[in-house]
């Protein structure tokens, strides 16, 4: 895990043993999430109380960018059923996992940071991105042209080629919630076998980068993006695992 030449919280590079697990080939889509909403009556994705990430005069921009992803009458935006669900908080992702666990009769949860990074690397130890070591607009959905931001958005899950494990969109399209709390120095302290992150914290973690990121380094396998626990956005979704 980690990278020797990038952010401080990605160091030290260290070897981790991760027990066998299954992970979704795709992020959870709007169609997937709609089954959960219909079965449980859980509140659908919407613009709710604005998260801390919008502070500093970004409220209007957040609402403008989020509006195309708001559900109406419990249904996803037209034509976006195959797109990853967004506008979901960490707790919303947990609620989906709990429902899915009951539905299929086995544990379903969010991946740990270690599981996510192993999955993103596709079996290789040092790949910078899920597809290789160079940025490539044909391999992931990210903002290669900042001027086109208003015309971009999520793409249907599986639009781009998979990584070596057969997993789609591990870099780009939407950030993905993982289960760990964030700690900048955790890599120096973590358990070498199946680490699950600190027991508590002030920030959560999303991985993988998204369609709004023009800084392609955020799509790196090792990149750790910390966000306040109340965060939700038009660029954050999630993927599930079964141990």
- Domain housing 137: 8-242
Q: Which of 21, 166, 176 lies closest to 84 in space, CA to CA?
A: 176
229 has a pLDDT exceeding 70: yes
CATH number of the domain bearing residue 26: 3.90.1580.10
**Nearest by Cα to 33 from 45, 15, 16, 21:** 45
pLDDT of residue 125: 87
Domain-embedded: residue 185: yes
User: Is 2 domain-assigned?
Assistant: no
Residue 1 covered by a domain: no
Q: What angle do CA 51, 236, 163 make, to 5 degrees?
A: 160
Residue in 123, 160, 150, 141 with CA at minimum distance from that of residue 218: 141
Domain assignment of residue 32, yes or no: yes
Check residue 60 and give left, alpha or beta (phi > 0: left; psi -120 to 50: alpha).
alpha
Cα gap 228→8, rounded to integer Å: 19
pLDDT confidence of residue 131: 96
Nearest to 174 by CA among 231, 144, 219: 219
**What percentage of the chain carries pLDDT values higher than 70?**
99
The pLDDT of residue 137 is 92
pLDDT at 191: 95
- 25 inside domain: yes
Output the pLDDT for position 143. 92
3-class DSSP assignment, residue 238: strand
160: region left, alpha or beta (phi > 0 left; psi from -120 to 50 alpha): beta
- The first and second tokens of residue 165, run together, are 């494990």
pLDDT tens by residue, 176-188: 999 999 999 999 9
Q: Which H or E run includes 39?
A: helix 30-40
pLDDT digit string, tens, across residues 63-120: 999 999 999 999 999 999 999 999 999 999 999 999 999 999 999 999 999 999 999 9
Give 170-221 pLDDT, tens digit per residue: 999 999 999 999 999 999 999 999 999 999 999 999 999 999 999 999 999 9
Q: Residue 144 has what pLDDT?
A: 83
pLDDT one-digit tens code per residue, 108-157: 999 999 999 999 999 998 899 999 999 999 999 999 877 776 678 999 99
Q: Is residue 159 predicted with pLDDT exceeding 70?
A: yes
User: How many separate domains does the chain show?
Assistant: 1
201 domain residue, yes or no = yes
Strand pairing partners for 176? Answer: 207, 237
- Specify if 3 maps to a domain: no
Q: What is the pLDDT of residue 56?
A: 81
Instruction: Return the pLDDT at 126.
Output: 86
Rounded Cα gap, residues 242 and 109, in angstroms: 6
CA pseudo-torsion sign 12, 6, 237, 166:
negative
Instruction: Look at residue 13 in the predicted model and tell me its pLDDT.
Output: 96
Pairing label, strands 204-207, 175-181:
antiparallel
For residue 3, the tally of other CB atoms under 10 A from its CB is: 17
Q: Tell me: pLDDT of 8 over 70.
A: yes
What is the distance between the alpha carbons of residues 88 and 38, in angstroms, rounded to a whole number?
A: 16
What pLDDT shows up at residue 152? 87
Prior bond of 7 cis (ω within 30°): no
Q: What pLDDT sits at residue 150?
A: 66
């Amino acid at each position: 895990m980690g990278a020797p030449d990038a952010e401080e919280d990605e160091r030290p590079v260290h070897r981790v043993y991760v027990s066998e697990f299954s992970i979704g080939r795709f992020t959870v889509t709007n169609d997937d999430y709609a089954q959960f909403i219909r079965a449980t009556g859980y509140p659908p994705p919407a613009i709710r109380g604005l998260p801390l990430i919008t502070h500093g005069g970004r409220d209007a921009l957040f609402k403008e960018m989020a509006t195309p992803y708001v559900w109406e009458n419990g249904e996803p935006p037209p034509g976006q059923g195959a797109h990853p669900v967004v506008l979901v908080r960490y707790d919303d992702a947990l609620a989906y996992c709990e429902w899915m666990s009951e539905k299929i009769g086995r544990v379903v949860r969010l991946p740990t940071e270690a599981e996510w990074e192993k999955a993103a690397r596709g079996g290789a130890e040092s790949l910078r991105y899920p597809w290789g070591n160079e940025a490539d607009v044909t391999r992931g959905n990210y903002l290669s042209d900042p001027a086109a931001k208003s015309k971009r958005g999520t793409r249907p899950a599986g639009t781009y080629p998979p990584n070596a494990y057969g997993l789609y969109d591990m870099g780009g399209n939407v950030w993905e919630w993982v289960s760990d709390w964030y700690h900048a120095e955790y890599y120096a302290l973590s358990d070498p076998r199946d680490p699950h992150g600190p027991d508590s914290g002030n920030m959560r973690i999303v991985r993988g980068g998204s369609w709004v990121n023009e800084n392609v380094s955020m799509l790196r396998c090792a990149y750790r993006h910390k966000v306040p626990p109340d965060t939700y956005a038009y660029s954050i979704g999630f993927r599930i695992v079964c141990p």
